[in-house]
């Protein structure tokens, strides 16, 4: 949520800042801007809308500078307008600040500063930081920043410069992610490593309440007591950061098509056939503790929450654990009994979702074992958890999550299998699960070979305004996730419901204009799903089903049916979601929506 990039070195700064902003745009695209210092002047350029608008604006300007800061915004305080765009400046346009996060006590500070005759231009919380630093500045930016930051309550990743101080950028972190890139006599800072990995693979992950001072040929890192810290430089090895659309029209489509590979990456090297069990190196340090855990709580948000809901069913099937799934944003406020016998598992693609982070910090305070399934290596959640498993799925750029969802489901199954094999899951059962996992990539590829039918059906339904998605047991979360995909990217109202609950409310909505997507595989819930479909047909509702080729009755009853290969019940949702991802994608494309950057959303939500 909001992306920050900074450069301090000898090259032209603006192309580097613009390139970084494009890679950070998934974090917000309400407005974009940069500030560079040219001949001692603070030059600030900003626009409403996407980074391409900023690119067009700066193309007409002749600016030369080798240090600067830039920002792409997801609006929190103040509507998306040029004046509310970052960078924000002080009264004399000397200090520029870009910010990711929220300053909770900004009104109090703003009032104080107004009394001291500071003039504010925007409605943002961020602008107070520039004025506060101005107020505390007497020649040394570092001292002024340290003093100012101590007054701030909230979360922030900040990049700050002063026009009178040549080649100095100050970075501060509390709560929001920020990474320092170390080059040869040049230094970078960004909200994620992807934005700067084209220039260096040497990264420093700042922790909360740390400050980096970047100059043109040196840098140092301090804590808030002004002590220099000896932080380790980590080498970013993964090639995955050199991303493009690889010929696909959208990142989302590319990521849907990457699923055979991302699913394989989720289990590669993690299955021991001879023992019918999984092997997860990241959990080994805590395996003894894990064996004695009495309660397991999965916390997450958005699509990761729906993966967590399904994770609960998978854990209940394979283990004797008492399992709960909680929305991270609710979990942190509840009076839950947590102690060292409880494991709290955070599921997060980005590893930086503010609600999930806050939830696990709360669990840590109470002594629970913290685990994570995270895609972004070295992210905040990966750092705070006691142990965990990486998805190794490569970056997911499309705001609507696809390949991470299926990858998370595979890893949840691996963890449940690992624990279940210490409990009552037999070698034979474990081996069956392993065989089924191994077949998933080819089964997903089979679905992806036949997308013309999905595209045609999507065209037929593109004009409808409302959809109901229903499923039972393992496919109840599939209904929720299928509906979420449609509403996120096509702006069509879609409700996911447990099929059995339909008769308690949503059935009153059904008529010929309100189609239902029924996820009805040939499993033990089939007969009940047939009854639900009949109830909808009796009310003139249209049915689009996701089922298996041998579920003849479902296919006959449906107006349209997507058939997917059959696997074991706990894994069937991984196959069932694929046509629904594509269905949402094609509908959104038919409606001309901005699929990779849906309105009002951001990929990484770093505000609570």
List contacts with ligand G6P (CB under 6 A).
Answer: 301-304, 348-350, 353, 356, 399-401, 601, 603-605
CB of 255 to ligand G6P, least distance (A): 11
Distance CA 49, CA 72 (A): 9
Sheet holding 88-89, edge to edge: 88-89, 95-103, 154-162, 169-174, 210-214, 219-223, 228-229
Distance CA 79, CA 124 (A): 9
428 within 8 A of 415, measured Cβ to Cβ: no
Q: Given the residues 2, 8, 301, 593, select the one marked as catalytic.
A: 2
Nearest to 51 by CA among 35, 26, 31: 31
CB of 355 to ligand G6P, least distance (A): 8
CB of 348 to ligand G6P, least distance (A): 3
Distance CA 565, CA 134 (A): 64
Q: Which is nearer to ligand G6P, 124 or 604 (CB)?
A: 604
User: Which residues is 179 bridged to in the sheet?
Assistant: 190, 205
603 labelled catalytic:
yes
What contacts 341, CB < 8 A, 6 or more positions away? 292, 293, 294, 295
Q: Which is nearer to ligand G6P, 6 or 353 (CB)?
A: 353
Element (H, E) at 346: strand 342-348
CB of 76 to ligand G6P, least distance (A): 15
Q: Which is nearer to ligand G6P, 152 or 301 (CB)?
A: 301
Q: Given the residues 46, 542, 597, 603, select the one marked as catalytic.
A: 603
Packed helices 259-267 and 403-422: angle between N→C axes, nearest 10 degrees: 20
For tokens 């006590």, name the residue. Answer: 105
CB of 382 to ligand G6P, least distance (A): 12
Tokens of 384: 């705070």
CB of 437 to ligand G6P, least distance (A): 22
Q: Which is nearer to ligand G6P, 106 or 205 (CB)?
A: 205
Count Cβ neighbours within 10 Å for each residue of 457-472 and write b for 16 or more, e otherwise.
bbeebeeeeebbbbbb
CB of 301 to ligand G6P, least distance (A): 4
Q: Which is nearer to ligand G6P, 99 or 603 (CB)?
A: 603
Number of H helices, E strands in the chain: 19, 27
457 within 8 A of 583, measured Cβ to Cβ: yes
Environment class of 509 (CB within 10 Å of its CB; exposed 0-12, middle 13-18, buried 19+) = middle
DSSP 126-190: THHHHHHHHHH-SS-HHHHHHHHHTT--EEEEEEEEETTSTT-EEEEEEBS--EEEE-SS-EEEE
Distance CA 250, CA 137 (A): 47
Nearest to 1 by CA among 211, 167, 156: 156
Q: Which is nearer to ligand G6P, 197 or 303 (CB)?
A: 303
User: What DSSP state is assigned to residue 604?
Assistant: S
Q: Which is nearer to ligand G6P, 187 or 241 (CB)?
A: 241
Output the residue with the shortest Cβ distance to ligand G6P: 302
Q: Which is nearer to ligand G6P, 172 or 314 (CB)?
A: 314
CB of 25 to ligand G6P, least distance (A): 13
CB of 331 to ligand G6P, least distance (A): 13
Environment class of 422 (CB within 10 Å of its CB; exposed 0-12, middle 13-18, buried 19+) = middle
Q: Which is nearer to ligand G6P, 509 or 601 (CB)?
A: 601
Distance CA 507, CA 525 (A): 19
Active site residues: 2, 603
């Amino acid at each position: 949520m909001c992306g920050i990039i900074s450069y301090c070195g000898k090259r032209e700064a603006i192309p580097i800042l613009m390139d970084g902003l494009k890679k950070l745009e998934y974090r917000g695209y309400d407005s974009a801007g940069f500030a560079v210092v040219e001949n001692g002047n603070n030059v600030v350029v900003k626009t409403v809308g996407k980074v391409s608008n900023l690119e067009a604006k700066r193309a007409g300007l002749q600016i030369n500078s080798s240090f600067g800061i830039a920002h792409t915004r997801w609006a929190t305080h103040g509507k998306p307008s040029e004046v509310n765009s970052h960078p924000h400046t002080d009264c004399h346009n000397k200090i520029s600040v870009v910010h990711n996060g929220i300053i909770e006590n900004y009104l109090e500070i703003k009032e104080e500063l107004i009394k001291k005759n500071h003039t504010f231009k925007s409605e943002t919380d961020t602008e107070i930081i520039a004025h506060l630093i101005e107020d505390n500045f007497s020649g040394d930016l570092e001292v002024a920043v340290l003093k100012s930051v101590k007054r701030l309550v909230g979360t922030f990743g900040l990049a700050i410069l002063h026009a009178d101080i040549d080649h100095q950028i100050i970075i501060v972190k509390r709560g929001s992610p920020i990474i320092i890139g170390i080059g040869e006599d040049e230094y970078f800072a960004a909200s994620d490593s992807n934005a700067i990995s084209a220039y260096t693979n040497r990264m420093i992950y700042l922790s909360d309440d740390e400050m980096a001072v970047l100059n043109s040929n040196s840098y140092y890192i301090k804590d808030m007591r002004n002590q220099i810290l000896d932080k380790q430089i980590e080498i970013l090895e993964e090639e995955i950061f050199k991303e493009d659309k690889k010929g696909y029209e959208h990142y989302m489509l590319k990521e849907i098509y990457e699923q055979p590979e991302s699913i394989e990456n989720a289990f590669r090297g993690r299955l021991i056939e001879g023992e019918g069990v999984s092997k997860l190196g990241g959990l080994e340090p805590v395996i003894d503790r894990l064996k004695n855990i009495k309660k397991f709580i999965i916390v997450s948000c958005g699509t990761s929450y729906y993966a967590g809901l399904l994770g609960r069913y998978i854990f209940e099937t394979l283990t004797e654990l008492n399992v709960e799934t909680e929305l991270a944003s609710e979990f942190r406020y509840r009076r839950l009994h947590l102690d060292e016998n409880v494991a709290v598992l955070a599921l997060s693609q980005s590893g930086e979702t503010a609600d999930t982070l806050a939830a696990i910090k709360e669990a840590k305070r109470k002594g629970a074992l913290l685990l994570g399934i995270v895609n972004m290596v070295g992210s905040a959640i990966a750092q705070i958890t006691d142990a965990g498993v990486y998805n190794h799925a490569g970056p997911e750029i499309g705001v609507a999550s696809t390949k991470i969802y299926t990858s998370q489901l595979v890893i949840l199954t691996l963890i449940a299998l690992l624990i279940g094999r210490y409990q009552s899951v037999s070698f034979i059962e474990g081996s069956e699960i392993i065989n089924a996992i191994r077949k998933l990539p080819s089964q997903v590829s089979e679905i992806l070979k036949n997308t013309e039918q999905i595209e045609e059906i999507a065209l037929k339904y593109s004009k409808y305004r409302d959809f109901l998605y229903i499923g039972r047991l393992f496919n109840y979360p599939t209904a929720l996730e299928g509906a979420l995909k449609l509403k996120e990217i096509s702006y069509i109202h879609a409700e996911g419901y447990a099929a059995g609950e339909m008769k308690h409310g949503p059935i009153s909505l059904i008529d010929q204009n309100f189609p239902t997507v029924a996820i009805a595989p040939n499993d033990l819930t089939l007969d009940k799903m047939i009854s639900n479909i009949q109830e909808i047909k009796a009310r003139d509702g249209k049915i689009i089903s996701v089922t298996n080729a041998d579920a003849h009755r479902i296919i006959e009853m449906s107006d349209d049916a997507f058939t997917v290969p059959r696997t074991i019940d706990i894994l069937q949702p991984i196959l069932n979601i694929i046509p629904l991802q594509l269905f949402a994608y094609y509908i959104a494309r038919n409606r001309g929506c901005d699929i990779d950057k849906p309105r009002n959303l951001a990929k990484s939500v770093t505000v609570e």
